[in-house]
Amino acid sequence: MKINRFMIAAPASGSGKTLLTCGVLRLLKRKGYRTVSFKCGPDYIDPMFHTKVLGTPSRNLDTFFAEPEGVRALLAKNAADVDIAVMEGVMGYFDGLGLDSSRAGASDLAETTDTPVFLIIPAKGTSRSVLPMVKGFLDFQKKACIKGIILNRVSPMLYPRMKEMIEKEIDVPVVGYMPVITDCALESRHLGLVMPDEIEELHDKLDRLADVLEKSLDLEQMIAIAGEAPEIKEDSYLSAFHKKTHTSKVRIGLADDEAFCFFYRDNLDLLRELGAELVPFSPIHDEQLPEDLDGLWLHGGYPELYGRELSENRSMRDAVHAAITGGMPVLAECGGFMYLHKELKDAEGKQWPMVGIFPENVWYTGRLVRFGYITLTEGSFFGKTLGDMRAHEFHYFDSEDPGDAFLAKKPTGNRSWRAVRSSDTMYAGYPHMYFYANPEMAPAFLDACASYQRKRK
Residue 87 bridge partners (DSSP)? 7, 38
Please answer whether residues 3 and 111 qualify as being in contact, where contact means their C-beta atoms are separated by less than 8 angstroms.
no
Please answer whether residues 209 and 181 qualify as being in contact, where contact means their C-beta atoms are separated by less than 8 angstroms.
yes
The half-sphere exposure of 190 on its side-chain side, counting CA atoms within 13 A, is 17
Among candidates 20, 74, 64, which has minimal Cα distance to 43? 64
Cβ neighbours for 198, distance < 8 A, ≥ 6 positions apart = none
By annotation, the residues acting in catalysis are: 334
Annotate 287-316 with DSSP letters as a single string.
SSPPSS-SEEEE-EE-GGGGHHHHHH-HHH
Among candidates 64, 56, 60, which has minimal Cα distance to 74? 60
**397-399 sheet: strands from edge to edge:** 351-353, 341-345, 358-364, 397-399
Judged by DSSP in three states, 133 sits in: helix
Can you tell me the distance from the alpha carbon of 270 to that of 187, in angstroms, rounded to the nearest whole number? 32
Can you tell me the distance from the alpha carbon of 342 to that of 354, in angstroms, rounded to the nearest whole number? 5
Q: What length does the chain have?
A: 457
Please answer whether residues 398 and 363 qualify as being in contact, where contact means their C-beta atoms are separated by less than 8 angstroms.
yes
Judged by DSSP in three states, 361 sits in: strand
Residue 353 bridge partners (DSSP)? 343
Secondary structure element (H or E) that encloses residue 255, with its range: strand 250-255
